[in-house]
Chains A and B, each alone.
Chain A
């Protein structure tokens, strides 16, 4: 009896991971809106200050930033691996993770802007070094994806992509360290996680949002990598078909020349 093979990028592992991620996200929403208290503190003058309920935006903004870093960092590592082993596998991995990184990089900027309006009274600040370096980092990887769309031999495309990934990787470090290197030129605070300056409920939920984010990243990466693999297989099939047609044409030509 023949079996039917599903024509998708899913597998048993991705289905399990997908459902776990979805369940994790539902729990994250519950924690973020029903458990975490609003962010307030009282100053020495007796004024109540803080992010108030805008703190709940942190549970999408901060994991988005972490996933963008992860995507771009993985692109860098896969690009290095491509330089070492020169296999399509690493090139496809770099492409898949860069695309996911761009999605979350754009989300980081958008959600950060939405959070900044009620907290800092501004949507965007060109003088803020963290904002501008993040924008540059995302644009570099948008450029990376654009370069990959230029028609070229796969090896040439991979080499071009590696160069941009290496340049982009320098930016990851600059973005991450910018709040320490230029602390007077940013509205962003230095790491509150390491200094434990946030409430336990907020810290727990933020950590949980990282875990859900990482599960989502892994799930997306598996599907996106398989998509890249399918694209490469179709390219290969098209090349095989073209060669087969050429061979058939050449055989036909030989036959006609042999006839008197």
Chain B
């Protein structure tokens, strides 16, 4: 395989960026959800 370094860099940067952004959105969502009353979180559903 040619250009292995470029492939590793391109794919890993993309995955790392998406994972980091996703993690930030989910963590912030979790922390803010606790501060908002249940009746104002319309998409919520009871845990099974």
Which listed segment binds B: A51-59, A176-184, A245-253? Answer: A51-59
Contact B46 A4 (CB under 8 A): yes
Known: A56-B7, A60-B11. A8 touches B2 (CB 8 A): no
Contact B32 A3 (CB under 8 A): no
Nearest chain A CB to B28 CB, angstrom units = 6
Considering the complex, which residues of chain B in the window 12-32 have a beta carbon less than 8 Å from any beta carbon of chain A?
13-14, 17-18, 21-22, 25-26, 28-30, 32
For A7, A29, A60, the residue with the greatest tally of chain B CB atoms inside 10 Å of its CB is A7
Contact A53 B7 (CB under 8 A): yes
Considering the complex, which residues of chain B in the window 24-48 have a beta carbon less than 8 Å from any beta carbon of chain A?
25-26, 28-30, 32-36, 38, 40-41, 43-47
Indicate which residue in B4, B35, B43 contacts A226 across the interface (CB closer than 8 Å).
B43
Cβ of A220 within 8 Å of any chain B Cβ, yes or no, is yes
Which listed segment binds B: A70-78, A105-113, A135-143, A191-199? Answer: A105-113
Main secondary structure of the interface of B (DSSP, over half): helix
Indicate which residue in B1, B11, B14, B30 contacts A8 across the interface (CB closer than 8 Å).
B30
Q: Which residue of chain A lies nearest to B43 when distances are taken between CB atoms in the complex?
A: A11
Q: Which residue of chain B lies nearest to A53 when distances are taken between CB atoms in the complex?
A: B2
Contact A220 B33 (CB under 8 A): no
Nearest chain A CB to B23 CB, angstrom units = 11
Nearest chain B CB to A171 CB, angstrom units = 22
Known: A4-B47, A114-B6, A220-B25. A9 touches B14 (CB 8 A): no
List of 10 A-B pairs having minimum Cβ-Cβ separation, nearest first: A9-B29, A3-B46, A7-B33, A230-B32, A52-B2, A60-B14, A114-B10, A57-B10, A53-B2, A11-B43
Using a CB–CB distance below 8 Å, which chain B residues touch chain A? 1-4, 6-7, 9-11, 13-14, 17-18, 21-22, 25-26, 28-30, 32-36, 38, 40-41, 43-47
Given contacts A6-B45, A227-B28, 16 further A-B contacts (CB under 8 A): A5-B38, A5-B47, A6-B44, A7-B30, A7-B34, A9-B33, A29-B11, A56-B11, A107-B18, A111-B10, A114-B9, A114-B13, A115-B6, A216-B18, A223-B25, A233-B36
Residue contacts A-B, CB under 8 angstroms, 18 given: A3-B46, A4-B46, A6-B44, A6-B47, A7-B34, A7-B41, A8-B26, A57-B10, A60-B14, A61-B10, A64-B14, A106-B17, A107-B17, A223-B22, A223-B25, A227-B25, A234-B35, A237-B35
